[in-house]
A and B are shown apart, each in its own frame.
Chain A
Amino acid sequence: MDAKITARQVYKRYPSVDGGEITALEDFSLDVADGEFVCIVGPSGCGKSTFLRILAGLDTASAGSVTITPGADPRKPLNNVVFQEYAIFPWKTVLDNVAFGLEMRGVGKAEREATAREWIERVGLTKFAGYYPHQISGGMKQRVSIARALANDPEVLLMDEPLGALDAQTRKVLQQEFMRIWEETRKTVVYITHSIDEAVLLGDRVILMTAHPGRTKAVFAVDIPRPRSVESTALPAFSDLTYRIWQELEGEVVRAMGEEGQIKIEE
């Protein structure tokens, strides 16, 4: 199998307030195959976002190596991130936000707007192309953020709890939509979530991380047939796997919460 992403013995240490160091990631390794959908779950503060930032090249590892294999077309960007906080620009319209990556790469106005409109349609925001972010809901903002990433057509898509801030219903709808889009594009995805259900529903593989320092605790292959939908959650295989993952995770969460003052409570 072709490794699209290779992370080898990644360490990340941050200086702490008392002059010491916090180890956010320790000996973390991960291979992701081309076209694979990998989900990472773990207790809050275990270094998931840190790892994603390192993958994205927005932060550097203290030790170890991370590579994303370029594709056949060298002009294609290696990765794009769908941020936990959306991070779509309030000063740009939905259209300009979605076209942003293309604009930065020097794609002409007509072409980039055509591509952007296509993606805006695919995430169901056609009517809102001219709106500014403050005029649309949280779920719509995250759709814009996803469309912005997909319109840029990166080799791998990195998603950091993209649906974490949404209410349960909006979340379900977006999971459905995103599954449909992913079936069509079959992009390589690293998807961080704190929901085990979501990880099992979306992923080919679920990586479970330990807290403090962040390491791989367990890896689960998800063999629920695709295409999946919300009905897949009714399968016995689904509940079996989510239960198994929870059993492993529970101890971590309890341990993480016990470490006084170490854990930031996540939003």
Chain B
Amino acid sequence: MTRNTLLIALTLIAWNLLFFIAGWWQPLWWLGLGVGFALFIWLADEAGKTAPLRYQRTYEVGLAVAFPVLLLLAWELIARNEILNPRWFPPPTRIAAALWDLTIHYDTFNKTSMFGRPWLFPQTLAAEGWPAAWSLFTESHVLTTLWRVFAGFIIGVIPGIFVGMIMGMNRTVRTMLDGVMSAIYVLPKIAIFPIMMLVFANPFGEGPKIAVVAISAFFLVAINTMAGVRDIDPVYIQAGRNYGANRLQLFRHVILPGALPVIFAGLRLALGTALIVIVAIEFVRARKGVGFVTFYYWEVLVTEKMYAGLFVVMALGVLLTFSLQWLERRIMPWR
């Protein structure tokens, strides 16, 4: 703690006190917050520069956590003081309460709940057996959405990698498909949802939803896989051949691992897109799923629950991204 840091910290406290005592928050909230954040950044910057080397990691983690907390705090204050209409922008504490409410609450009319009430699982299984316990999974909005993403992702990604590989390795196939693929690639995938509803016997069932996710994932992964194969330095192919690899070995030992980094970039894009697509579809055509919950509470104007739904979508995105990163590190330890 240098004198400089201390001075800035004191200024920051004094600034907030001044606003509080003088009652300026209401009319001049933007000035209070703006200068407050600027002072905070200055303070953090100063503290980071002067902190000893062994505290640098702590500093980074602390700052990464502290800043979002501060943002939430600012939001809380703004909403509480009714600077922004709390009806449309409810304070985070109320959103948290709504999330808790959604967690424990079971909708008897729709027979759904947010997370599937896992705390009931052991006793249900013991008392009523598997079918009843299984229904705890199927009642869950989160698991429903995750299932749709997962099923669509797998169904799209496996043939996507396959077709991308062939396009990467064979010029004829590539030339034939490249134009078509690029054209479909730029089409917003949500736009093919109506077609999928026509294709499937039950337009309101799971089929069309999963199909759209699968198709979105397919094109992203196929195009990236092709690029990954094309990007492999030819000297690796030459080395493979020179050391006696046959076609299958060349694929297994050179082309597949060589293309993996770019394939994974495609998988990341596909997973993000899958989540976007499924939430959008659940907005318009679903009786279950996180997207449905979010949109439902917008329609009935219970905004804190709508925000809670958005928060869950965000958390799902983070969870899925981390899972994929974990898989990436497992599969490509050389990176």
Contact = CB atoms under 8 A, between A and B. Distances in A.
A85 interface: yes
A90 B239 contact: no
14 contacts: A53-B238, A58-B238, A77-B243, A85-B233, A87-B236, A88-B239, A89-B236, A90-B334, A91-B258, A91-B260, A104-B246, A105-B244, A133-B334, A134-B334
Interface stretch (B163-171, B191-199, B249-257, B270-278): B249-257
B172 interface: no
A81 interface: yes
B245 to A, nearest CB: 5
Contacts of B244: 77, 101, 104-105
B332 interface: yes
B334 A81 contact: no
Given A90-B334, A134-B334, A83 B239 contact: yes
B243 A104 contact: yes
A80 B254 contact: no
Contacts of A56: 242
Interface in A64-97: 77, 79-81, 83, 85, 87-93
A246 interface: no
Contacts of B260: 91
A57 B239 CA distance: 11
B120 interface: no
A104 B236 CA distance: 14
Interface string A166-200: 00000000000000000000000000000000000
Given A85-B235, A100-B253, A104-B249, A91 B332 contact: yes
A132 B334 contact: yes
A88 B257 CA distance: 13
A142 interface: no
A133 B258 CA distance: 14
Contacts of A77: 243-244
B238 A91 contact: no
Contacts of A216: none
In the complex, which of the residues B239, B246, B333 has the most CB atoms of chain A within 10 Å of its own CB atom?
B239
Given A58-B242, A104-B243, A105-B244, 9 more contacts: A88-B239, A89-B239, A89-B253, A91-B257, A104-B244, A104-B245, A104-B249, A148-B243, A152-B243
Nearest to A59: B238
Contacts, number: 60
Contacts of A148: 243
B241 interface: yes
A77 B236 CA distance: 18
Interface residues of A, number: 27
Contacts of B235: 83, 85, 87
A104 B246 CA distance: 8
A122 B242 CA distance: 23
Contacts of B243: 77, 80, 100-101, 104, 148, 152
Contacts of A133: 334
Contacts of B257: 89, 91-92
Interface residues of B, number: 21
Contacts of A58: 238, 241-242
A50 B233 CA distance: 17
Given A77-B244, A104-B245, A105-B244, A87 B334 contact: no
Nearest to B335: A134
The 4 residue pairs across chains A and B that have the minimum distance between CB atoms: A91-B257, A101-B243, A104-B244, A87-B239
Contacts of A90: 334
Contacts of B246: 104
A132 B335 CA distance: 9
A169 to B, nearest CB: 26
B331 to A, nearest CB: 10
Interface string B218-244: 000000000000000101101111111
Interface in B296-335: 332-334
Contact of A132 (B233, B238, B253, B333): B333
A89 B238 CA distance: 11
A100 B242 CA distance: 11
A81 B333 CA distance: 27
In the complex, which of the residues B240, B243, B245 has the most CB atoms of chain A within 10 Å of its own CB atom?
B243
Given A87-B235, A91-B260, A81 B242 contact: yes
Nearest to B235: A87
Contacts of B333: 132
A78 to B, nearest CB: 10
B261 to A, nearest CB: 9
Contacts of A134: 334
Contacts of A100: 243, 253
B238 to A, nearest CB: 5
Contacts of B233: 85, 87
A81 B242 CA distance: 7
A90 B233 CA distance: 11
Given A132-B333, A132-B334, A89 B242 contact: no
Interface string B155-186: 00000000000000000000000000000000
Contacts of B253: 89, 92, 100, 103-104
Contacts of A79: 242
Contacts of B334: 90-93, 132-134
Nearest to B332: A91
A224 B124 CA distance: 89
A136 B332 CA distance: 17
